[in-house]
Copies of this chain bind each other. A is one copy, B any other.
């Protein structure tokens, strides 16, 4: 396979944009990436667009790439639409890479985009349910409904199974994992909270982050409880946004930049999170093997902190520390800016935000900026090799898609 360089990247600030649609968000991100590469809209030869929720949130299915790209005058090139829940756009990135690495095309555009905030809140709810087996969800909702009706008949005034309740099913899974980790390894709620402190601090330095407030440990712990040990500030928000990347062959790279960032490893997988070894561990191993390096060679990392405890688990799965020692890592400051290997310098999903289908490429864009020395106040000095980990969806207890990418200068 050929060497592939990322020569441009861009994104919108993640946020709540009730008055902006996918076309507008995608245009901003794609134009930023093209400008970064000094490239005209007519140059990309193929485009792969990742999106998770547009079908449910806006009704746009099937031709999402064509709808947003045609609107901005990108046309007459092959366009591929891909979905993989929260890992939709890291999947798009892999496919764009594949088009170039294989030799089929020289210049590929990868886009991630998502529109979650809607006037109609039931659509927001529907979006949350999309990353799993909808038949099973419907069965679960029917059971919850039946239970609520039964309770109502018995005279109780319990809340029924509405959106808020159902979202917490996902958070319940993370919370259960966190409690297991606490019980088995002695990890503390404070350690999880420190992840949130760190990521909110990092996000405060990132102009693209949705939330830029800094919080103390006490504030994180005192925010409204979601599911023990999770508080609201330990959970990623919903959001709108888009991110884009331009990938080119080695031959073409020098034409567009003096600072190419090379894609050294790309791996995608499906499987159980439970060890030994969990899906993230297996996928990371494939990516490390492809890149010919190990976790000790990584200088900066963006990982899927859908909740704060998830980041602790990922430390262990990606080999930053032995099993059970993720809590110690955060205590020692290893993963904060200034530490040995800063993680989620962008603010992560917790602070930068998590517009589902946009997250994968946005993570890659953060690492791209870091490796080029363009990360401003949150720059990791001397960062030469970076990694992203992006997970998405859950089907019958298995992660539907986990993607790991390794980039280097």
Residues in chain A within 8 A of chain B (CB atoms): 1, 21, 52-53, 55-56, 58-64, 66-67, 70-71, 75-85, 88, 91, 95, 98-99, 101-104, 126, 130-135, 138, 267-271, 392-393, 395-396, 398, 400-401
Given A60-B133, A62-B131, A270-B66, verify A81-B78 contact (CB < 8 Å).
Answer: no
Which residue of B is nearest A403, CB measured? B78
A80-B91, A82-B81 known; A62 vs B393 contact (CB < 8 Å)? yes
- Whether A85 contacts B70 by the Cβ 8 Å rule is no
Which residues of chain B come closer than 8 Å to A52, judged between CB atoms? 61-62
A102 touches B98 (CB 8 A): yes
Q: Nearest Cβ in chain B — how far from A392, in angstroms?
A: 8
Residue contact A58 to B134, C-beta cutoff 8 Å: yes
Q: Given A95-B95, A268-B78, are A104 and B63 also a contact pair (CB < 8 Å)?
A: no
- Interchain CB contact under 8 A, A76 and B400: no
Q: Is the CB of B75 within 8 A of A61?
A: no
Query: Are B103 and A1 closer than 8 Å at their CB atoms?
Result: yes
Task: State in angstroms the CA–CA spacing of A77 and B283 once bound together.
Answer: 10
What's the dominant secondary structure at chain A's contact region? mixed
Which residue of chain B lies nearest to A266 when distances are taken between CB atoms in the complex?
A: B104
Residues of B within 8 A of A395 (CB): 63, 66-67, 70
Residues of B within 8 A of A103 (CB): 1, 102
Check B1–A66 contact: CB distance below 8 A: no
A78-B270, A95-B95 known; A84 and B62 CB under 8 Å?
Answer: yes
A84 in contact with B55 (CB, 8 Å)? no
Expressed in whole angstroms, the Cα–Cα distance for A179 and B141 within the complex equals 51
Q: Give the complex CA separation of A98 and B82 in angstroms.
A: 15
Known contacts A95-B95, A101-B102, A81 near B79 by CB under 8 Å: no
Contact A62 B79 (CB under 8 A): no
Contact of A131 among B63, B76, B267 (CB under 8 A): B63
Alpha-carbon separation in the docked complex, A401 to B49 (Å):
14
Is the CB–CB distance between B59 and A134 below 8 Å? yes
- Those 3 A-B pairs whose CB atoms lie nearest each other, nearest first: A55-B55, A102-B102, A78-B268
**Cα separation A333 to B406 with both chains bound (whole Å):** 57
Is B104 a contact of A60 with CB atoms below 8 Å? no
**Is the Cβ of B85 less than 8 Å from the Cβ of A400?**
no
**Pick the contact of A63 from B101, B102, B400 — CB < 8 Å?**
B400
Give the residue among A64, A71, A78, A269 with the most B Cβ atoms within 10 A. Answer: A78
Q: List 13 A-B contacts (CB under 8 A).
A: A53-B61, A55-B55, A62-B392, A62-B400, A63-B130, A75-B398, A76-B269, A79-B401, A80-B95, A80-B268, A82-B83, A95-B95, A101-B102
In the complex, which residues of chain B have a beta carbon less than 8 angstroms from the beta carbon of A53? 61-62
Determine whether the beta carbon of B271 is less than 8 Å from that of A76: yes
Residues in B neighbouring A396, C-beta threshold 8 A: 70-71
A66 touches B134 (CB 8 A): no
Chain B neighbourhood of A78, CB < 8 A: 267-270, 401
Q: Which residues of B contact A60 (CB under 8 A)?
A: 133-135
Which chain B residues lie closer than 8 Å to A88 at the CB level? 62
Closest Cβ–Cβ distance, residue A3 to chain B (whole Å): 13
Q: A75-B398, A83-B81 in contact; A61/B67 too (CB < 8 A)? A: no
